[in-house]
């Protein structure tokens, strides 16, 4: 079955960097667009970033553009999120998610990991 396993979260000081990873298995990774969605403690969902199936197109929420960078390695079937200049309000559980289909415009996510927690605090 589809598995998405995030790692790399932790406690970091404001202004520092962190790199999240998502290891995938159980499906052909290459044809799917992938995204990161986060959820601050006790809060709702927030879409963070997305990347096309081949990595040529990336998309970001206004709140993270210029500080976070999404990337993928299709040979390793993995997704990454480089997080720079972290702020206190980046504190959240970060989910790796898969787009729901490989053909046509797709803005829904049918598979979610369990998340990795990032805490930004001095």
Residue 27 interacting with another protein (CB under 8 A): no
Stretch that binds another protein, among 15-23, 43-51, 67-75, 78-86 (CB under 8 A): 43-51
Rounded Cα gap, residues 5 and 24, in angstroms: 6
Rounded Cα gap, residues 26 and 86, in angstroms: 32
Pick out residues in 84-113 that bind another protein (CB under 8 A): 95, 100, 105, 107-110, 112-113
Rounded Cα gap, residues 93 and 45, in angstroms: 10
Report the residue from 1, 41, 56, 62 that binds another protein according to the rule CB under 8 A: 62
- DSSP bridge partners of 81: 20, 70
Interface residue list for another protein (CB under 8 A): 35, 37, 44-47, 50, 59-62, 95, 100, 105, 107-110, 112-115
């Amino acid at each position: 079955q589809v598995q998405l396993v995030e790692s790399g979260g932790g406690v970091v000081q404001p202004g520092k960097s962190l790199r999240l990873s998502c290891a995938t298995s159980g499906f052909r990774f290459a044809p799917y667009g992938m995204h990161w969605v986060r959820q601050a403690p006790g809060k709702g969902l927030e879409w963070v970033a997305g990347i096309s199936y081949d990595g040529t197109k990336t998309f970001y929420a206004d709140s993270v553009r210029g500080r976070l960078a999404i990337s993928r390695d299709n040979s390793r079937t993995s997704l990454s999120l480089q997080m720079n200049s972290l702020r206190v309000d980046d504190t959240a559980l970060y989910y790796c998610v898969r787009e729901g289909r490989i053909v046509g415009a797709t803005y829904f996510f049918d598979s979610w990991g369990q998340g990795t927690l990032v805490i930004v605090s001095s």
